[in-house]
Amino acid sequence: MPITSRASVKASIIYLALGAMLGVILLIDRWIPLGTAVSALRASHIQFLVVGWLTQFIIGVAWWLFPPLAIGLRDDSPLPVRRGQSQRGSEALFWMALAFLNTGILLRALFEPLHSWTKIGFFSILAGVSGLFLLAAAVLFVANLWSRVRELGKAKVSQGTSS
């Protein structure tokens, strides 16, 4: 598993644990009221589990397991000439997508409850901006992975006359 996927999957598991803990707090609040502020944590609970856990986990595993890019395959060779990370696409773009995704998750999960508690308008803007980060992450990830959604072992790239 490449370091890119490891970072994504490990982050997703941390969000799973955090999201589940917030779920426990929300449920305990129904039993023993912990204060009116607690209900604002619902947005963070959903964000952590749906985007932080599920989406980020899928992104990490897809980056690891999807067929490699067809680049560097010779017509006469069953094995790719280029191996490893270079056949997964742009590592830099993946890191950028991961950074945007996590920035978006944290902005939303922090500032939506903060805005609900304090009513400070700037916090609402920061929570709103999170959507742009998440959108950018989605675009970068899909653009980077798009060519790897292909039939395995069929698409070979001709590299001129084979010797």
Binding site for other proteins (CB under 8 A): 1-3, 6, 9-10, 13-14, 16-17, 19-21, 23-24, 26-28, 30-31, 49-50, 53-54, 57-58, 61, 65
**Is the CB of 30 or the CB of 132 nearer to other proteins?**
30
Q: Comparing C-alpha atoms, which of 101, 104, 97 is closest to residue 130?
A: 104
The minimum distance between CB 31 and other proteins, in angstroms, equals 4
The minimum distance between CB 114 and other proteins, in angstroms, equals 23
**Is the CB of 56 or the CB of 130 nearer to other proteins?**
56
Distance CA 80, CA 87 (A): 9
The minimum distance between CB 105 and other proteins, in angstroms, equals 16
Cα dihedral 55, 59, 61, 66, rounded to 10, equals 140
Q: Comparing C-alpha atoms, which of 74, 98, 95 is closest to residue 85?
A: 95
The minimum distance between CB 157 and other proteins, in angstroms, equals 25
Residue 74 backbone zone (phi > 0: left; psi -120 to 50: alpha; other: beta): beta
**Is the CB of 57 or the CB of 133 nearer to other proteins?**
57
